[in-house]
Amino acid sequence: MSKAPGPIKKVLVIQYSQTGQLTALTEQIITPLRADPRIAVHLEALVPLRPFPFPWPFFRFLDAFPESAHMVPPALAPLSLKGDEDFDLVILPYQVWFLAPSQPVTAFLKHPIAQGVLRGKPVVTVIACRNMWLLAQEKLKSMLAAAGARLIDNVVLTDPGPTLATFITTPRWMLSGKKAGFWGMPAAGLTDAQIRSSRRFGLALREGLLNDREKGDEPLLAGLGAVQVNPRLYFSERAGTRGFFVWGMLVRAAGPPGSWQRMPLLSLYAAFLTLMIFTLVPVSLALQALLRPFMAQWLSRIKTQFERPSGASSERSHIYGE
Ligand SMILES: Cc1cc2nc3c(=O)[nH]c(=O)nc-3n(C[C@H](O)[C@H](O)[C@H](O)COP(=O)(O)O)c2cc1C
């Protein structure tokens, strides 16, 4: 009797989530892959040796910004990977911390074993965050390039609430664990419908893999509404990134993560940051609204640039039941 053929495609999936949101999203995407006997999924859960708490105590939250912004990797528990595995595709879900990839994901990308596994491999990034991810993706792309990996798709899901409301609802969720809406504000985080409908990406990845399309240069997730860029947040991200970088340098000079010497600077920065969020962001948005006729072309260029490679159009979504 002939032996049943083994899986023909191997997929590596990275996993880290504090609230479970990114895990729920990843599950939707990988369920169709796991259900197919021709595809083997290897799940790599990232475990920081010094865990990041959820909900976050206020100072611990703030204390995470210098290393996040400077992409200083925290130590991870040993990976289950050896470094010589040969995957056909890597799915890299990540959340944004302080306009940069979250620290555990940065630690993975800078890990020598991960770098061995990623070399030459096609990567699909999946972002779930509040709504400011443009420059985090640029940073992540530079880490992928350093590891010799190739980005073929990017899926982005952002909190649907208005930007200024999410500046209140997300920190409240992170600091208290409370996600529900209050005082007329929307609930924090993604909706269940957003998470459920992400199954279409898994179905399309399965189809792409079974047709060897991950070997080519075309995205597998085009036409599925994978990413919608709000280019008006680009200016605030640029200003925020610069601020995090400079203040991050000062705080890091004061002491290592968790040290009391950082507290005065962190307190000062917290006040400064709050002021900036509720002045600079609305002013920048209002100015852009006024200058829209002059900036339209430039904003649309930014939108197109950051929506690559998967794109915003959704003409193929109906194929996957959306
Ligand atoms: C320390 C920290 C900083 C964050 N900074 C940002 C940010 O700069 N931009 C953004 O869109 N979301 C930001 N978020 C929200 C996260 O990207 C994410 O939506 C949330 O943490 C839930 O992710 P989880 O799957 O790990 O639970 C931040 C969250 C944390 C904990």
The pLDDT profile of the chain, 322 residues, written as one tens digit per residue, is 455 566 799 999 999 999 999 999 999 999 999 999 999 999 999 999 999 999 999 999 999 999 999 999 999 999 999 999 999 999 999 999 999 999 999 999 999 999 999 999 999 999 999 999 999 999 999 999 999 999 999 999 999 999 889 999 999 999 999 999 999 999 999 999 999 999 999 999 999 999 999 999 899 999 999 999 999 889 889 988 999 999 999 999 999 999 999 999 999 999 988 888 888 878 888 888 888 888 889 899 999 999 999 999 999 999 997 7
| Residue located nearest, by CA, to atom 20 of ligand 1 | 129
CA of 63 to the centre of ligand 1 (A): 14
Exposure of 254 by Cβ count < 10 A (0-12 exposed, 13-18 middle, 19+ buried)? middle
Per residue in 114-138, pLDDT (tens digit) is 999 999 999 999 999 999 999 999 9
Beta-bridge partners for 129:
158
Closest CA relative to residue 71, chosen from 98, 96, 93, 103: 103
Per residue in 207-227, pLDDT (tens digit) is 999 999 999 989 999 999 999
Cβ atoms < 10 Å from Cβ of 28? 18
Q: Is the CB of 233 under 6 A from ligand 1?
A: no
Cβ atoms < 10 Å from Cβ of 231? 19
Q: Is the CB of 22 under 6 A from ligand 1?
A: yes
**How far separated are the first and last CA of the chain, in Å rounded?**
42
CA of 122 to the centre of ligand 1 (A): 25
Pairing label, strands 96-97, 150-158: unpaired
**Of 27, 96, 172, 236, which is best to mutate to test ligand 1, by the most ligand atoms within 8 angstroms of its C-beta?**
96
pLDDT for the residue numbered 5: 64
The first and second tokens of residue 283, run together, are 């002013």
Check if the beta carbon of residue 312 is closer than 8 Å to that of residue 155.
no
- If DSSP codes are grouped into helix, strand and coil, which group holds residue 101? strand
CA of 47 to the centre of ligand 1 (A): 17
Q: Is the CB of 19 under 6 A from ligand 1?
A: yes
Torsional sign, CA 311, 317, 320, 322 = positive
Q: Is the CB of 166 under 6 A from ligand 1?
A: no
Closest CA relative to residue 137, chosen from 148, 151, 147: 151
- Residues near 259 by Cβ (< 8 Å), separated by ≥ 6? none
pTM (two decimals): 0.95
- If DSSP codes are grouped into helix, strand and coil, which group holds residue 43? strand
